[in-house]
Structures are given as C-alpha cells and as structure tokens.
Amino acid sequence: MITQGNTPGRRISPMTPAATSCRVDGQSPHRVSIQRRGPPFPEAPLAPGTAFRIRPGQAPERKRARFATMSTRQAVVQLLLIIIPVLLLSLVTATDGEKR
Amino acid sequence: MYAAHFAAGLAIKARAPRAPTWALLTGAFLPDILWIGFARVGIEPTAIANFFDDWSHSLAMVISWGALFALAFWRQGRGVVLAVWVAACSHFLLDLPIHPKFLALYPHSAIHLGVVTSGAIGARRYWFAQLAVVAVSTPVYVRGLAASGLRRNLVAASCLIVLTLHLLMYPG
C-alpha cells in the first residue's frame, strides 16, 4: 500500500492536491515520502480508496497502471471537430490572404 | 472553448487578411490539437481527478508552441507570422477565464491562473460565456473582412458556420 508522508497504512486519497507527488523512500515498500511538488500521478489515476503495491525505489509516477488516456476514437472525433470546420471556413473565405 | 476559438481566429483574419485562414484557425486551436495528441499517449491525463494539460495549455508552452507554428510561415512575411502567433496565444486568453483546470504558468508550475473552472460554472453557463466571445469576435471579423473586399455572403456564411458550430455544442 502506498502511504502518504511517513504514516504507514494511510492510503493516498484521490483528494490529494494535484501538486503533491510521492516517491518511495527506498527503505520499505510501505513507506513513501513527499519529495517534491509536481503534477499528479500521471499514469495512475487513483480511484477512491485505491491501494496498490510498489517496489522500493519505484516511483509511483513511473507505474504504468491504469492510464487515463483518451481513446483513439475520441481523439479522432475531437480532431475532426476541429479539422472539418477549419477546412470549411478556409473554403468559405477562399479569397485567402496571398491574393489580397 | 470551441466555437469561440474559431471566432477569435476569424477576428484575427480580419486584421491580417494576408494570413491564410487555415493557419489562423489551426493556430487558434493549436493547444487543443496538441492536447488531443498528448492525451492519447497519456502525457496529459484527461480524468477529472488528475486532469493535467500543462504541456499543451500552460502560458509558457502556448507561447512556445505558437511561436514554433508561426515560424513555419516566415516566408509569408512578418505580419503573417505575428498573426498566426497571436491566434495561437489567443487560445490561452480565451481559456484563461474558464477551463476544466486553472492554467499553469509553465509545465508543473505551482502558479495557476484562472477565474473559475468549467466544472464549477456548469455546462450551460460555460456555453453562454462562449457565446459572448463569439458575439464580440464576429463583428470584428465582419467589419474587417467586409472592408477588405471579401464578398458579404461569404462573410455571412462563415459567421453562420461558427454560430452553427456553437449551437451544436449546446449542452444537454
């Protein structure tokens, strides 16, 4: 279980401030300490009450578990929502710059 | 923001008619385009709990990405480069008041800028806030391009497209 600060057994809450980042202190897999300010754990969005094991020395931010990535389909849709209007508006204002 | 970025791009187009529309609009959406890529590969998590978009949307990165993108148009003149860069930077200004998370000064910065999060304001109010931006930008565009000789029906058509896009995004 990842703990926050030096209090073994305390779970990291999903309410942990985004600027808080934890790192294993290298002495025990059950102890981590807050080392620096930074982004939230980018690869491990913690669901409420989530606990998981990490090896000593393995920073949680390196753990490749449960990415909150955008799906390919979502990405394509989002891109099309931009590209199609851009093309459409470019066509409509087709007397574009270089000519004027 | 969505349609508001198009409106801003078109407003800049009115000021810099030599700049290609596609470049201005792409510039206006550059941080979002990058965000889509970063979110897809996991650099910028999209979940509300750990939403992070500093690499695409922080002030320093928007300025930098915008400059890189704008420099691709250096052959078209300083005016075009500046217009494209301003279009990219307009993204930060428009996202500054309302965004899913306050915008960082630079990646991983402890300093965040913003007025209210989109979650706090609610989807409907957010939609109306964007409508206000569209309402302000569109006349700038209309006046500028009409004066530069673009046919009025085409100006009207582009305004209609932006407005339609915004209407399509009405929440619920």
Q: What is the pLDDT of residues A24-81, one digit of tens each?
A: 444 443 344 433 334 444 444 444 444 444 434 444 444 443 446 788 888 999 899 9
Q: Report CA B132 to chain centroid distance, whole Å.
A: 14
Chain A residues close to B152, C-beta within 8 Å: none
SS3 letters across chain A: CCECCCCCCCECCCCCCCCEEEEECCCCCCCEEEEEECCCCCCCCCCCCCCCCCCCCCCHHHCCCCCCCCCHHHHHHHHHHHHHHHHHHHHHCCCCHHHC
Min Cα separation B127/chain A (Å): 17
pTM listed for this prediction: 0.71
DSSP string of B63-82, one letter each residue? HHHHHHHHHTTGGG-HHHHH
Nearest chain B residue (CA) to A67: B42
Query: What pLDDT shows up at residue A95?
Result: 57
In whole angstroms, give the CA distance from residue B23 to residue B78: 14
Indicate the SS3 state at residue B116.
strand
Q: Which of A45, A88, A89 sits opposite B50 (nearest CB)?
A: A45
Which of B18, B21, B73, B151 is the best substitution to test chain A (most A C-beta atoms within 10 A)? B21
Query: What pLDDT shows up at residue A68?
Result: 60
State whether ipTM is beyond 0.95.
no
In whole angstroms, give the CA distance from residue A70 to residue A36: 27
**If we measure between CA atoms, which residue out of B153, B18, B61 comes closest to residue A92?**
B153
Residues 6+ apart with CB under 8 A from A78: A70, B32, B36
Query: What pLDDT shows up at residue B138?
Result: 84
Min Cα separation B12/chain A (Å): 12
Return per-residue pLDDT of chain B as tens, 172 residues: 788 888 888 889 888 888 999 999 999 999 999 999 999 888 888 877 778 889 999 999 999 999 999 999 999 999 999 999 999 999 999 999 888 889 999 998 888 998 888 888 888 888 898 888 888 888 888 887 777 777 778 888 888 888 888 888 888 7
Query: What pLDDT shows up at residue B105?
Result: 94
CB B12 within 8 A of CB B87: yes
